[in-house]
Structure 1
Amino acid sequence: MEIKITRDTMSDIYFDALRIRNQVFVKEQGVPYELEVENPVEEASAVHFVLYIDGKAYGTVRLLANLDKKSGLIQRMAILKEGRGKGYANVLLCQLTEFAKSSNIDILELHAQLSARGLYAKHGFSEVGEVFEEAGIQHITMEKAL
């Protein structure tokens, strides 16, 4: 198992992240592609994490850091169907959290799909606010102090 990290939107790592996101969000969940990759500035500003097993990409997540506020927004957590239930999301979250700490980020925030909020709660995230809809899917904001 290996996690590769990139900020380069022309790298193979980034394209692997896009392939996973397209499969999970666009094909499986019906999110319009334009919403999935809506903001090229965010894509280029984010740190993209991709988990590989024997050279195959199975999962991804990205972190948008606001270093002025010492905060980070976790987005686009996705695990391919054949990789689910194997702890890959846990590994990605741990790696991202360590990266955030080493970048002097004090608080992490994310918009969890309701079906995934248990995963984030296990990692110390707490629900904040009310349920809302994003791309036709119900979410809730969650935060964690580092």
Structure 2
Amino acid sequence: MEIKQSNQTSSAVYADAIMIRKAVFIKEQGIDPNLELDTVTPATWHYVLYDDQGHAVATARITPNDATTGHIQRVATLKTARGHGYAGALIKRLISDARTQGYQQLELGAQVTAQQFYAHLGFQAVGPIFMEAGLKHQAMQYTL
């Protein structure tokens, strides 16, 4: 297993992240491509986890809200690769990198169906459930 990252939209890492996001969010969950494939800046870092065979199987991204808070988004694992701990390993890497970069807090909007996954990693639910892209979400925070 290997985790690679890039903030360049011309990189192979970004292309692999988009491939996973299209498979999970657009094809599997039916999210409108115009909502899923948004504009990013070089401040956004895309992470992709590659399995032992070198296949891109999980992705996430982090964007700074400000100097002390990072926002995790687009966490996805290919359906055929679920149950192996890939997403957990990816989130732990993002937490570690955020700590190294001096962030004090991370936040994310978890699909309600994934809320327990994030809680297990130490994220705390905050605020009411909200709708995003036609799916119920819960804001969650992690204090570094």
- With the shorter chain as reference, the TM-score category is over 0.9
2:82 matched to 1:84?
yes
Q: The residue matched to 2:8 in structure 1 has which SS?
A: coil
Give the secondary-structure state (helix, strand or coil) at the position aligned to 1:115. helix
Give the letter aligned to residue 59 of structure 1: A
TM-score, length-scaled by structure 1: 0.95
Distance 1:38 1:51 in 2: 21
- CA deviations 1:38-57 (Å, max 9, x no partner) are 2243xx42111100012110
Aligned partner of residue 91 in structure 2, secondary structure: helix
SS of 1:18's equivalent in the other structure is: helix
Question: 1:65 deviation in Å?
Answer: 1.4
Equivalents in 2 of 1:120, 1:127: separation in Å?
A: 9
Q: Tell me the equivalent position of 1:16.
A: 16
Look up the SS of the partner of 1:45 in the other structure.
Answer: coil
Structure-2 residue corresponding to 1:63: 62
- CA apart distance, 1:66: 3.1
TM-score (norm 2): 0.96
Unmatched segments (≥5 aa) in structure 1: none
Supply the distance in 2 between the matched residues of 1:28 and 1:84 (Cα, whole angstroms): 14
State the AA in 1 paired with 2:126: V
Match of 2:106 among 105, 108, 111: 108
Secondary structure at the counterpart of residue 80 of structure 2: helix
Pairs aligned (count): 143
Percent sequence identity is: 43
Q: How far 1:37 moved relative to its partner?
A: 1.3
Cα distance between partner residues in 2 of 1:32 and 1:137? 12
Structure 2 residue 96 is matched with structure 1 residue 98: yes
Instruction: Quote the Cα distance in structure 1 between the aligned partners of 2:46 and 2:136.
Output: 24
Match for residue 46 of structure 1 among 44, 47, 67 = 44
Moved more, 108-117 or 30-39: 30-39
C-alpha displacement of 1:67: 4.1
